[in-house]
Structure 1
Amino acid sequence: MKYHNSILDTIGNTPLVRLHSVVKGIKATVLAKVETTNPGNSVKDRMALKMVEDAEKQGLLKPGATLIEGTSGNTGMGLALACIAKGYKLICVLSDKQSKEKMDILRAVGAEVVVCPTAVEPEDPRSYYSVSKRLAKETPNSWYVNQYDNLSNSTAHYEQTGPEIWEQTEGDITHFLVGVGTGGTISGAGKYLKEQNPAIKNIGIDTYGSVFKKYHETGIFDENEIYPYITEGIGEDILPKNVDFSVIDHFEKVTDKDAAVMTRRIAREEGIFVGNSAGSAIAGLMQMKDQFTEDDVIVVLFHDHGSRYVGKMFNDDWMRERGFLDEGHKVAQDLIENHADKNLVVCASEELVSHAIAKMKAYNISQIPVTKDGGFAGHVDDRKLLQDLIENPSLMDTPLGAVMQPALPIVEANTKIEAISKLINSTTPAVLVRLENEKYNIITRYDLISAI
């Protein structure tokens, strides 16, 4: 009989799959290291088990111990499998930007899930870094895993992932490309590959809002680089000890939109259902496509499974809300789809400034067309009104006709987006769209930016 003693024995030996459609235009051979065949459906199974086994060897884990870890979800899943097999408990601390699917999966395998806000500093007591450390102090017989600074993370990839890639490519690999979060995968596997052939290039994929690229290139930890982003599993606002910058040859930044769009393309065009960091990796590769030759062999690591993003990147409504779907906005009619059923809010020229401000608050809008004698005579804009009121508060009781700006341009429903973009500028915040039956709607800067 052929069988494994436990699910942990099935970790590793993941396949290499050649990519075709999504890397069209690259002369090199591009191979995906598909880590979704691990039992927890991600590359994190490797390091999760290694960290637990090393902790056991060091005497850090006692029977019935509780493991506590801050995770984007995948390390938590790997730890959950190890805990089930070895009889430990698990508390996973996640940021609220992680997908609901990840949280539900962790609960399904017995982990307790604690959710923390994303948009706080790492030192903030509400951050998932801080909460993880606090829970480790407060929980009896517990161990804080700390995948960011626990070097068993990168060791796992040095011992497993790197050797697998080297063997599978028969030493022909020229570039290793992977998203960088904790840094364990690129640092461990990348170190092993460079030891076999120093000419191999390790390329880290970073995201906008993360500090890695600038720090690698300048040695400066720039807090101005840090801001919230959507992409999961890569990028950081800290410098984990597992990131060995000396092993990494280059960082390539990828936008949230490009990552999300490419994630969907990988599923539809290659039949490989993988997560957001895989989309980031291929999008980054395509940004660098002119740097590769037909003799190159590029291995791109596909981090985790697409089932964890069904409510996000694979959901049309989620993509549409963030302006990530290219739905072919061509003309004015397309730009007003989201509010075409709403009546245009206007003010008469004899109404007071205070009336316009009240309407802006009530309808959450920034500009209002002003009418006179049945036509459009001008408009008021919240920024200009604010400036005027600061200089002269008594204007609140002034008729709009005395303070209004020139009338907004009027375009037809079939006016092309290129023409509209030329009309909206620093002094003209919107245009009016003439519809059937002499009805009107409005296109604002926000509508235009969302469409672009």
Structure 2
Amino acid sequence: MAAVHDNVVDAIGGTPLFRLARLGAGLGAPVYAKAEFLSIGGSVKDRAALSMVLAAEREGLLRPGGTIIEATSGNTGIGLAIVGRQRGYRVIAGVSDRSAAEKSDILRAYGAEVVTAATALPREDPAHLFNVVERLAAEIPGAWLANQYDNPANPDAHVRTTGPEIWEQTGGRITHFVAGVGTGGTISGTGGYLKQVSGGAVTVVGADPQSSLYGGGDGSPYFVESIGHFLHPETVEDRWPQAYREDVVDAFERVPDRESLLTARQLARTEGLLAGPSSGAAVAAALRVARRLGPDDLVVVLLPDSGRSYLSKVHSDDWMRQWGFLEEPGAETVRSLLDAAAPLVTVAADATVGEALEALCAVPGGVAPAVLARAARPYGVSATEVVGSVSRAVLESGLADGSAKPDGPLSALLGPALPTVGVGQSPAEVRAVLGDAHEAVLVLVDGRAAAVLHRGRFGV
């Protein structure tokens, strides 16, 4: 018989485990998924939201008629909106401009006010999302900033609920716990509890985007929302969340974006679990772990949120192709043209005119525009960090007529960023992007700049 609750808050948590019978077929150890997207608000963040609100009320930080404010990629804001509005609070969610649009729509549906701000900025920039919400909290009387990244009630929610649920559901048989690391609250609280109750026998594995700093990446942008740690190259102080306990995580599995996104799609199509991209990263990591184990082991992977919040992104074929994550076998695509593409030249946006010209002259032909990015990254230039382009002809003309100097900045000669196409798109789609206005396109593979193709390749 289905449970009966006095209100929706009582329905937070208590999510089921599903064995990944098809994706996990043939692996050494069974893999079970903790379906947090079946929580009332659609994500694991419901637990932290309730825990933080109750703690703030107990401590007198949140009073009747008050306002809850938080910076969020979407999920924590949704949880706070459900809990906060049900308890009579005004809720303001500061949402990253890179979050899926569906999340802001859901927040508004629950009665939250949405403020959108950038996160691809130096942490100290006044326009950064975190600074925007901090100003709002200071300006609005009776406001309380949830601050999930540093709030101890965040991991505590999982010590009290998620960890005990998993232990009970597996009858204490769990040997490995796999989860993504965003604020760090979920993996620290759940993993910490499982280690404690098992006498240290449970191994905790963090699933991390390949370029995220948590697992040892270069901090460059990635396309899996809600987990990982990005670092803008101009950030002065790199702050890690206080909710994250590094000592709890025994190892990391660093998962490339393509593997994460395609695994999320496989979850829906083979297991019937419509989950988000961070779930894809976690499952990809869990499958790797299970391949190294035996039948006496048991892996539990946490699926943080629903794929319904990402229908315009990871679960959209068009979006996946446009960013270079999806390629259909046998189709005529840009991939076949890469070998004949012009060499890709990338320079940092703060380079001088002379440095940019030297880079262009160093490649065969030297005719492709140079791609300007915020910084050079070991994992290549993310399309989200491309800020412009400049050709060799423009540089040489500027030096010849005296409008530029070799040691001068590129800004005066900087042209717009090249239009982009994904490696899995068709030549017809490329021609449409080129139109009449563009001489070349930037080809993306897995969301990163891979090559430049001139319009002549497409007969236009």
Would you say 1:8 and 2:1 are equivalent positions?
no
Q: Could you give the per-residue CA deviations for residues 140-164 of structure 1, whole angstroms, max 9, x where no partner exists?
A: 1100000000010000000000000
Alpha-carbon deviation of 1:24? 3.5
Partner Cα separation in structure 2 for residue 67 and residue 387 of structure 1: 52
Instruction: Indicate conservation of the 8 Å contact 1:25/1:289, yes or no.
Output: no
Would you say 1:232 and 2:225 are equivalent positions?
yes
Alignment match of 2:202 (pick from 200, 206, 209): 200
What residue in structure 2 maps to residue 17 of structure 1?
Answer: 18
Q: Could you give the per-residue CA deviations for residues 55-112 of structure 1, whole angstroms, max 9, x where no partner exists?
A: 1010111111011000111111110111121100111011111000001000111111
Would you say 1:381 and 2:385 are equivalent positions?
no
The alpha-carbon distance between structure 1 residues 2 and 41, as it changes in their structure 2 partners (threshold 3 A), is closer
The alpha-carbon distance between structure 1 residues 44 and 444, as it changes in their structure 2 partners (threshold 3 A), is closer
In the superposition, the TM-score normalised over structure 2's length comes to 0.72
The alpha-carbon distance between structure 1 residues 64 and 27, as it changes in their structure 2 partners (threshold 3 A), is same
What residue in structure 1 maps to residue 333 of structure 2?
Answer: 334
Over 3 Å off, 4+ runs:
286-290, 382-394, 442-451
Alpha-carbon deviation of 1:253? 1.4
In the superposition, the TM-score normalised over structure 1's length comes to 0.73
Instruction: Indicate conservation of the 8 Å contact 1:18/1:32, yes or no.
Output: yes
CA RMSD of aligned residues (A): 3.1
Within 5 A, what are the aligned runs for 1:42-441?
42-197=43-198, 198-214=200-216, 225-237=218-230, 238-328=239-329, 334-335=333-334, 381-382=367-368, 385-386=392-393, 389=396, 393=400
Partner Cα separation in structure 1 for residue 440 and residue 29 of structure 2: 45
Q: Computing the radius of gyration over CA atoms, which structure comes out larger, 1 or 2?
A: 1
Alpha-carbon deviation of 1:388? 9.6
Partner Cα separation in structure 2 for residue 96 and residue 18 of structure 1: 35
Instruction: Indicate conservation of the 8 Å contact 1:335/1:443, yes or no.
Output: no
The alpha-carbon distance between structure 1 residues 336 and 103, as it changes in their structure 2 partners (threshold 3 A), is same
Aligned-partner SS, 1:257 = helix
1:235 alignment partner AA: G
Task: Considering fraction of residues, name the structure with more helix.
Answer: 1
2:206 alignment partner AA: G
Partner Cα separation in structure 1 for residue 442 and residue 154 of structure 2: 47
Alpha-carbon deviation of 1:291? 2.1
Alpha-carbon deviation of 1:2? 6.5
Alpha-carbon deviation of 1:20? 1.9
- What residue ranges of structure 2 are gaps of 5+ in the alignment? 231-238, 338-359, 370-390, 402-422, 424-438, 453-460
Aligned-partner SS, 2:54 = helix
The alpha-carbon distance between structure 1 residues 92 and 170, as it changes in their structure 2 partners (threshold 3 A), is same
2:334 alignment partner AA: L
- What residue ranges of structure 1 are gaps of 5+ in the alignment? 215-223, 339-365, 367-377, 395-416, 418-441
Partner Cα separation in structure 1 for residue 152 and residue 82 of structure 2: 20
Instruction: Indicate conservation of the 8 Å contact 1:45/1:75, yes or no.
Output: yes
Q: Could you give the per-residue CA deviations for residues 193-224 of structure 1, whole angstroms, max 9, x where no partner exists?
A: 1111111100011113321113xxxxxxxxx8
Partner Cα separation in structure 2 for residue 326 and residue 288 of structure 1: 27
Alpha-carbon deviation of 1:254? 1.3
Partner Cα separation in structure 2 for residue 142 and residue 85 of structure 1: 17
Q: Could you give the per-residue CA deviations for residues 248-273 of structure 1, whole angstroms, max 9, x where no partner exists?
A: 10112112211111111000000011
Instruction: Indicate conservation of the 8 Å contact 1:23/1:282, yes or no.
Output: no
Alpha-carbon deviation of 1:290? 3.7
Aligned-partner SS, 1:246 = helix
1:272 alignment partner AA: L
The alpha-carbon distance between structure 1 residues 289 and 444, as it changes in their structure 2 partners (threshold 3 A), is farther
Alpha-carbon deviation of 1:23? 2.6
1:18 alignment partner AA: R
Aligned-partner SS, 1:17 = strand
Alpha-carbon deviation of 1:444? 8.9
Instruction: Indicate conservation of the 8 Å contact 2:24/2:30, yes or no.
Output: no
The alpha-carbon distance between structure 1 residues 126 and 316, as it changes in their structure 2 partners (threshold 3 A), is same
Instruction: Indicate conservation of the 8 Å contact 1:148/1:241, yes or no.
Output: yes
2:101 alignment partner AA: K
Alpha-carbon deviation of 1:188? 0.5
The number of residues matched between the two structures is 358
Identical columns (%): 43
The alpha-carbon distance between structure 1 residues 393 and 202, as it changes in their structure 2 partners (threshold 3 A), is same
